[in-house]
Amino acid sequence: MRWSQLIIPTLKEVPAEAEVPSHVLLLRAGFIRKLFSGAYSYLPLGLRVLKKIERIIREEMDRAGGQEVLMPAVQPAELWEESGRFAQLGEDVFVIKDRKGRKVVLGPTHEEVITDIIRNTVRSYKDLPLLVYQIQTKFRDEARPRFGVIRSKEFIMKDAYSFDADTQGLERVYDRVHQAYLTIFSRLGIKPLVVEADPGMMGGKSSHEFMILSKSGEGEIAVCKACGYAAGLEVAACEAPALGRAAKEAGTPARLEEVKTPGAKTIEEVGKLLKITPQQMVKTLLYDTDLGPAAALVRGDHELNEIKFARRGGFKKLVMASPEQILKWTGGPLGFSGPVKLKGVRVIQDFAVSAMANFVTGANLADCHLKGVNAPRDYKPDLVADIRAIQAQDPCPRCKKPVSLEAALELGHIFKLMTKYTESMKAHYLDAQGKEHPIIMGCYGLGINRILAAIVELYHDKDGIRWPPSVSPFQVEVLPVNLEDPAVRATAEEIYQALLKRGVEVLIDDRSERAGAKFKDADLVGITTQIVVGPSALKEGKVEIKSRLGGGVKRLAKDELLEGLGKNEGIFS
């Protein structure tokens, strides 16, 4: 194709709105344009990359036994009510009303729709297993759209769903899709971290995320550089300190004593007043749950992880208690809560607290704390569990070396959903004995726009993008340096035509721009291979082949190049 006929609006300046390299470069290289906050158009070069990513995903999903379908983006709210998710929908899901007043969800995901199809088509175990996928636009009303196509209100996903008669079947397809994802990422030039994650709103048993370390990510993960362990903060285990340590550190249990702490509510204020460190204090956090009032006890320098707390406590609802509730349940104001003499509140204590002795807590009394607190002498927790968030320098759950916390961008996510949707929506099959069972389900997502942005995050330099060959918008760019020179013009055209004839995807920069501007644009756009046709090399009958990806430049006789095209298909790959 010819540059002069395509929309490639390159920019010299860095757009003010763009913070991360992928956003800056996709705008500057003319791959995308913003319509409004959180919605982007793909221009010809951007769309070519997007389609190449989709093609690789299709090939590998088909190889994994998948079959492609296409489901509607508009979904009746009743389906979401049936699955029980409608009530849980947050503000980030678009719900609209059609002209008859019927509530319609703009699909952020398609578990309900596919389960509806399956319950109406699958009768017996003979119809299973199934792996179905689609590549389709999803919607999410992001509160803060950011980083271009990384966090937008509209995005393209490959979402897949598996249906099996038993859990062994689910395990097999889960592993197969996991493997397919690794192949897809490898073909795209990405080495993802495979991160253990919490299934969250999707529900189900377990899940894994495929991530890259990037400042454009929305969450932090715990990473161990020593053994490669990577996990979400809500999953990364914080182990119980070795038994016996508590007793060793304790010495003699001190006397339980009330101390005045006027106005001191925070760990910092109390520490300053009593001249103690956060490690000698215990935070008592109160929550209103579906199982009644609950308290979480964590060491002063630790943070409670609410997802772990909810999982361990078996809570379906978890809301921080209001000052009024705290006063009612504990008898004291906010900031002075503690576990001693606390009645009617379920106390869940973090492992690390169990290793402490003679510590300080609130006294459930205004302006008072207790010191010399020891469990189980002074109170008995209802449950001791891992409820805190892992911190940098904590031991790796696998190898015990210190972990670090890193910002990471999620590109894919796979879940073992089990029967979460098939039970509530009654998607059943009959076994060989004619007995009815809910179908076992898995789901598997890949964010296609994000993958495109992630490739740019990984493959760029100060001059622009450096596309890996598998996703380069064109395989080759032919760059005639000076079109006024008839020899240059004719040779460039000859090479362009020869490449087209060979079926190579080629872009020729046929603009009558200055050579400098063309070189700059070529590097910015980042097509893997450039063939530069310039007057000086041409005097020796040569052209320059430049690898934008590898950075190398070699001179090749024009005839040798054209001959090579006839023989060697992989000359530019």
- Binding residues vs Zn ion (CB under 5 A): 224, 226-227, 229, 396, 398-399
Please report how close the Cβ of residue 221 comes to Zn ion at its closest, in angstroms.
13
| Count of CB atoms situated within 10 Å of the CB of 167 | 14
Nearest to 312 by CA among 332, 298, 327, 330: 298
Please report how close the Cβ of residue 226 comes to Zn ion at its closest, in angstroms.
5
Q: 109-131 as b/e, with b when 16 or more CB fall inside 10 Å?
A: bbbbbbbbebbeebeebeebbbb
C-alpha–C-alpha distance, residues 6 and 1, integer Å = 8
Please report how close the Cβ of residue 244 comes to Zn ion at its closest, in angstroms.
25
Please report how close the Cβ of residue 245 comes to Zn ion at its closest, in angstroms.
22
Please report how close the Cβ of residue 396 comes to Zn ion at its closest, in angstroms.
3
C-beta of 195 vs 224, nearer to Zn ion: 224
In order, the DSSP letters of 182-246 are HHHHHHTT---EEEEE--GGG-SS-EEEEEEE-TT-SEEEEE-TTT--EEETTTS--PPPPTTHH
C-alpha–C-alpha distance, residues 226 and 287, integer Å = 37
- Cβ neighbors of 25 (< 8 A, separation 6 or more) are 456, 460, 464, 465, 524
For the record, the structure tokens of 138 come out as 């999803």
Please report how close the Cβ of residue 398 comes to Zn ion at its closest, in angstroms.
5
Cα radius of gyration (the chain): 30
C-beta of 237 vs 276, nearer to Zn ion: 237
Please report how close the Cβ of residue 209 comes to Zn ion at its closest, in angstroms.
18
C-beta of 399 vs 500, nearer to Zn ion: 399
Peptide bond into 339 cis (omega under 30): no
C-beta of 291 vs 399, nearer to Zn ion: 399
C-beta of 102 vs 191, nearer to Zn ion: 191
- Cβ neighbors of 175 (< 8 A, separation 6 or more) are none
> CA 291 from chain center: how many Å?
32
List 555's β-bridge partners, or say none. Answer: 544
C-beta of 197 vs 533, nearer to Zn ion: 197
C-beta of 267 vs 396, nearer to Zn ion: 396
